[in-house]
Amino acid sequence: MSQSFQVALQKVVDHSYEIEIGEHLFPALLKDLQQGLVTGVSKYAIITDSKVEPLYGQPLLKLLQEHGFQTELFVFPAGEKFKTRETKAQLEDQLLERAYGRDSCIIAVGGGAVTDLAGFLAGTFGRGIPSLNVATTLLAAADASVGGKTGVNTPVATNLIGVFHQPRKVYIDLAAWRTLPARELRSGLAETIKHACLADAEFFAYLEENVDKVISPDGELVLDPAVCEEIALKNCAIKYRVVEQDEHESNLRQILNLGHTAGRALEAVSGYTLLHGEAVAVGLVIQARLAVKLGYLQAAEASRVEALLRKAGLPVEIPAAITNRMLMDKMYTDKKVRGGRIRFVFQEGIGVMKVFEGGAYSTPVDEETVMELLEELRG
């Protein structure tokens, strides 16, 4: 004979937060902390990478310490290949050694790799402590500022180990974009183009008209302030509309993986010599051409996607050193794989996603069909 006891834990949690877009936002962050943005905190940990440390990590540390906040700086090597469980464990050990506990707050300062790793750390340290994000790249503004998805890479797969952890506030500092190398800025434009592809035909047309006001064809940063602000705002708005309806990626949120089935695989098999956005750009071309092949998308619209990526200075071809077999094998580690079958999300038009039977946003595609398409792309 056995007995049972029901543990009832129904609750409503408000994970709302503000995104502030502007230039030179450290004074705003300081004011927010002084006015009690996060409560019950006695120690702050700024987490950044080796590239961002001298530009923004050290200045923020100095500012907070000058105003009486107990703050220390924690730095890990820059690059997606260091966004790992090992790096996270090293940072956790450093925090513990310096007596950080549940009364701590993480301030992530940097690009997407920093906010992904620091957000994951914040979500698990002390079973969850508050965090703030200062996004210093267009990629972080486009991809990491909304949604609370955090995670790390492993040798087998990217971003498959992580948690959903919403920050208390996000600061998108447009002034920081002026410090980016052209490649990094273009990498962020790939995620921006992805957002336009999946949700906003008007924004796509806006990018066709204005992408050269962000970066010139020869790679010179132009960074027209009005265009940069519009891009930052639109990225957040598009991603928010999706995440609001599906915070934990049960169905609709999969559309944000447009271009990522092949893109993430490409990024990993390149040994992260391709930047995230560069790999996603090629992934967007693969999904668009595959969508045409399967009858979901008009060829003219696939051509517009490819033309915009080219105009932004992004790659649209698979590097010769990466074989179709290598790419195909890595796609099987994608988090959308079900029952050993690779799944894609597809455009049905510019700004419109394909919905499949039962309201699903992803669909399995046979390996043979994908391999055929990869051969055609190289042809």
Is the distance from CB of 129 to CB of 102 less than 8 angstroms?
A: yes
Q: What is the DSSP secondary structure assignment for residue 161, as one 8-state letter?
A: B
Average pLDDT over residues 126-149: 89
The per-residue pLDDT for 236 is: 92
Q: Are strands 43-49 and 169-173 parallel, antiparallel or unpaired?
A: unpaired
Q: Is residue 142 very low, low, confident or very high in pLDDT (cuts 50, 70, 90)? A: confident
**20 in Cβ contact with 37 (< 8 Å):** no
Report pLDDT for 5. Answer: 79
Strand partners, 169: 18, 132
Q: Which amino acid is at 341?
A: R
pLDDT at 334: 83
Pairing of strands 131-135, 71-76: unpaired
Tell me if residue 365 falls in helix, strand or coil.
coil
- The phi, psi pair for 344, rounded to 5°, reads -120, 155
Residue 337 in this model has a pLDDT that exceeds 90: no
Comparing 80-89, 151-160, 306-315, which segment has the lowest mean pLDDT?
A: 151-160
The two tokens of residue 269 are 């098999």
Q: What is the pLDDT of residue 108?
A: 97
Mean pLDDT over each residue of the chain, to the nearest integer:
94
Q: Which helix (H) or strand (E) holds 197?
A: helix 182-199
pLDDT average, residue stretch 38-58? 97
Q: Which one is predicted more confidently, 250 or 21?
A: 21
Token code pair at residue 92: 């956790």
Q: Can you give the pLDDT at residue 11?
A: 66
Please report the pLDDT score of residue 253 as a whole number.
82
For the cut 70, the answer to whether the pLDDT of residue 320 exceeds it is yes
On the 0-12 / 13-18 / 19+ scale of CB atoms within 10 A, 31 is: exposed
pLDDT band, residue 12 (cuts 50/70/90): low
Per-residue pLDDT reduced to its tens digit, 251-309: 888 899 999 999 999 999 999 999 999 999 999 999 999 999 999 999 999 999 999 99
Query: pLDDT for 56-106, tens place per residue?
Result: 999 999 999 999 999 999 999 999 999 999 999 999 999 999 999 999 999
Chain centroid offset of residue 250 CA: 18
pLDDT at 186 (0 to 100): 97
Side chain identity, residue 74 = F
What percent of the chain is modeled with pLDDT above 70?
A: 99
The reported pLDDT for the residue numbered 124 is: 98
Closest CA to 331 of 273, 249, 266: 266
Judge whether 164 and 247 are in contact, CB under 8 Å.
yes
DSSP β-ladder status, 104-110 and 43-49: parallel
Burial (0-12, 13-18, 19+ Cβ within 10 Å), 163: middle
| Helix H or strand E segment including 287 | helix 276-293
pLDDT of residue 161: 94
pLDDT in tens, 184-218: 999 999 999 999 999 999 999 999 999 999 999 99
Q: In the predicted model, is pLDDT for residue 159 greater than 90?
A: no
pLDDT at position 68? 98
First-to-final CA distance of the chain: 69
Distance CA 259, CA 243 (A): 18
Mean pLDDT of 118-146: 92
> Mean pLDDT throughout 345-363?
95
Q: Give residue 14's pLDDT.
A: 74
User: Helix or strand or coil: residue 185?
Assistant: helix
Q: Which domains does the chain have, with CATH numbers?
A: 18-27+41-179 (3.40.50.1970), 182-378 (1.20.1090.10)
**Rounded to 5 degrees, what angle do the CA atoms 296, 300, 305 make?**
85
- What is the torsional sign of CA 40, 76, 21, 250? negative
pLDDT beyond 90 at 156: no
Whether 117 shows a pLDDT value over 80: the answer reads yes
Q: How far is CA 335 from CA 90, 220, 261, in A?
A: 26, 36, 9
